[in-house]
Amino acid sequence: MYQQKIFNEPRPEILHKLMRENGFATLVTAADGVPFASHIPVLIAGEAAGGLRIRGHVARANPHWKQLEDGAPVLAIFHGPHGYVSPSWYGDDGNVPTWNYAVVHAYGRATLMAPAELRTLLQDLVDEHERRFEPPWRFDSLPAALIDGLMRGIVGFEIAVERVEGKLKLSQNRAPEDRSRVRERLAASADPTARDVAAWMDLLAR
């Protein structure tokens, strides 16, 4: 992606945090120069030193899995919070609107999962997203025959991540007093996504 040094975020712990908190990824490959994208929930495992992995699945009817099977280069995009910044929030005139955002690009190559790995993935996805509910719904509450039938309709994959890029455009190019005003206005917004941007501005300031 296009990078400016002031917005580049190299710290693995920050990048992995954003990936894990925003696990609905855009998966992109290209065949014969034509890009193809799928939007899917994924799980992140491992760290940079131990091998970062992205696990997910697509419908078997989705031709994207055939490109993954061929070992094509894959880009997974993780969109963090984002929000509009009004020039009226700055302390002087002559400014223009902009957009604050956080995003991670992860590059690698995929392999397809065996049935046992796919079943584990489905269980892990359910556990990850059901843990906030009481009581949580259990994947293994489904009849075995139904699970087997559902699994035949999807294809699981794992991406071995080779490179990760992060960009946090959070008013770092502005004076401290301007950054403070922007953070305060975003934090006071009725939009929860704008408040999330403010939280990331707080994190970046630590």
pLDDT at 94: 84
Identify which of 93, 75, 80, 86 has the alpha carbon closest to the alpha carbon of residue 29: 75
The first and second tokens of residue 36, run together, are: 């193809």
pLDDT at 50: 60
Cis geometry, peptide bond prior to residue 135 (ω within 30 degrees of 0) = yes
**All structural domains of the chain with their residue ranges:** 5-205
**pLDDT tens-digit series, residues 84-94:** 999 999 988 88
Q: Which stretches of the chain score pLDDT less than 50?
A: none
Q: Which amino acid is at 195?
A: R
Q: Which amino acid is at 171?
A: S
CATH 3.40.50.720 describes domain 5-205? no
pLDDT at 184: 96
Strand partners, 164: 106
How far is 80 from 82, CA to CA, in rounded Å?
7
Helices (H) and strands (E) in the chain, counts: 6, 7
Strand partners, 157: 56, 112
Edge-to-edge strand order for the sheet containing 154-169?
34-41, 24-31, 73-85, 98-112, 154-169, 53-59, 43-45
pLDDT at 38: 97
Strand partners, 99: 84
Report strand pairing: 34-41 vs 43-45. Answer: unpaired
Q: What is the pTM of this model?
A: 0.93
Q: What is the dihedral of CA 196, 7, 20, 117, to 10 degrees?
A: 150
Report strand pairing: 34-41 vs 154-169. Answer: unpaired
How far is 168 from 16, CA to CA, in rounded Å?
13
The first and second tokens of residue 153, run together, are: 């309709």
pLDDT at 32: 85
pLDDT at 49: 52
What is the distance between the terminal CA atoms of the chain, rounded to a whole angstrom?
Answer: 26
**pLDDT tens-digit series, residues 125-142:** 999 999 999 999 999 999
